[in-house]
Amino acid sequence: MKLYDYAHAPNPRRLHIFLAEKGLEMERVQIDLTKKEQLSPEYREVNPLCQVPVLETDDGARISECLAICRYLEDLHPEPNLFGSGPDDRAQVLMWNHIVEQEGMPGLAEALRNRINNFRDHALPGPVPYAQIPELVERGRKRAGHFLDFMDRRLTGRGYLALDRFTIADITLRVAVDMAARMANKFELRVLDERPALAAWHARVSERPSTQAT
């Protein structure tokens, strides 16, 4: 299998942690987003949406979208289980993973992509050159703060986000929190300060070697 990848982007990072938890390695092809290689004609043949990661399977099929790739690999390598065992657990894991994807990451991306110069002509991911809207930076910052407050409440009295053990939902949240931390100074965003449950969870998952995967 072959992975089209960019080591510093949030969704590839989610996959790196997932692969490390599974003990899997594969060939990687780096697509440098800072050089806009994702917009090249060659990469558009790989993924017309011009996003990473993409997994190319042994039979040549290509799978985009981080969650779809992780689900495919979970089916091939079911242990350690990261999606939950049984319908109730799986529903909780997918629900909380979706909440982080839809309520957390978009606010962070909204602030970042509407301010950073590298996204000036591509404020939204993909091939369409949407212009930045500076007014959205503050809204994104507020959305991110409200999301982090929500996660702190959810994690109060809990060890992990979805179940009583580490799952892909925790991977997604870890990447979102780390993304927020990198933005903290420039965007005046508090992340772990005054959020004790979130801070305790972050310290707990940071003990896992997989969270250092690149």
pLDDT for the residue 44: 97
Sites in the chain below the pLDDT cut of 50: none
Task: Please name the residues in contact with 61: beta carbons below 8 A apart, sequence gap of 6 or more.
Answer: none
Calculate the average pLDDT of the chain. 96
Q: pTM score, two decimals? A: 0.96
Same domain, 201 and 100: yes
Spell out where 75-170 has E strands. Answer: none
Q: Report the alpha-carbon distance of residue 214 to residue 204 in Å, rounded.
A: 19
Residue 82 forms part of a structural domain:
no
Let me know whether 107 and 196 are in one domain: yes
pLDDT at site 188: 92
According to DSSP, the residues that pair with 3 across neighbouring strands are: 28, 55
Amino acid (one-letter) located at 40: S
Whether 81 is covered by a domain: the verdict is no
Range of the domain at 126: 87-212
Last residue of a domain, one of 76, 104, 137: 76
Residue 56 CA to residue 6 CA, distance in Å, equals 15
Q: What is the pLDDT of residue 82?
A: 98
What are the pLDDT digits (tens) for 203-214?
Answer: 999 999 999 997
Number of domains the chain contains: 2
pLDDT of residue 214: 77
User: Which residues partner with 2 through β-bridges?
Assistant: 27, 56
Give residue-wise pLDDT tens across range 179-193. Answer: 999 999 999 999 999
Answer yes or no: do 171 and 124 share one domain: yes
